[in-house]
Amino acid sequence: MVKVRSEDEIQKNWVQGSINAYLNGKQNLNWIIGIISSSNINKEVLENLLNSFRESCPDKSLISQLEKACIEKGFL
How confident is the model over 39-53, as pLDDT tens digits? Answer: 989 999 999 999 999
CA-CA-CA-CA torsion sign (18, 34, 4, 52): positive
pLDDT reported for residue 71: 96
Q: What is the pLDDT of residue 5?
A: 76
DSSP character at residue 3: P
Taking alpha carbons only, the member of 20, 17, 15, 27 closest to residue 75 is 15
Q: Which amino acid is at 35?
A: I
Rounded Cα–Cα distance for residues 72 and 55 (Å) = 22
pTM of the model: 0.88
- Which regions of the chain are under pLDDT 50? none
